[in-house]
Amino acid sequence: MRVVVLGAGFGGLELTTRLSEELGDDIDVVLIDQADGFVFGFSKLDVMFGRTVAAAVHHPYRDVVKPGVTFVQTTVRSIDPATRTVETDAGTFDADVLVVALGADLDPGATPGLVEGGNEFYTVAGAFAVRDVLENFGGGRVVVGVTSAPFKCPPAPSETALMMHDYLTTRGLRDTSEIALVMPLPVPIPPSPDASAALITAFAERGISWHPNQLVVALDPERKMVVFADGREMPYDLFLGIPVHRAPSVVVASGLCDDGWIPVNPLTLETRFPGVYAVGDVTSVGTPKAGVFAEGQAVVVADAIIATHRGHTNSSTYDGTGICYLEFGNDQVARVEVTFLSGAPPSGLLEGPSMAYAADKSQFGTSRIRRWFNRDWTNY
Domain stop point among 206, 222, 244: 244
Which pLDDT score is estimated for 286? 81
Nearest to 364 by CA among 311, 325, 312: 325
Residues 213 and 124 in one domain: yes
Residue type, 188: P
Dihedral sign of CA atoms 21, 26, 27, 33 in order: positive
Q: Cα–Cα distance between 316 and 295 in angstroms, integer?
A: 14
Same domain for 35 and 86, yes or no, is yes
- Position 380 scores a pLDDT of 53
Read off the CATH number of the domain in which 68 is found: 3.50.50.60
The predicted pLDDT at position 119 comes to 97
pTM of the model: 0.93
User: Which stretches of the chain score pLDDT less than 50?
Assistant: none
pLDDT at position 222: 96
Counting the structural domains of the chain, the total is: 2
Same domain, 256 and 267: yes
Q: Are residues 83 and 137 in the same domain?
A: no
The verdict on residue 42 lying in a domain is yes
Per-residue model confidence (pLDDT) at position 79: 98
pLDDT of residue 243: 96
- Of 255, 246, 289, 286, residue with least CA distance to 269: 286
The span from the CA of 61 to the CA of 95, in Å, is 21
Task: Look up the domain containing 86 and give its range.
Answer: 2-104+247-310
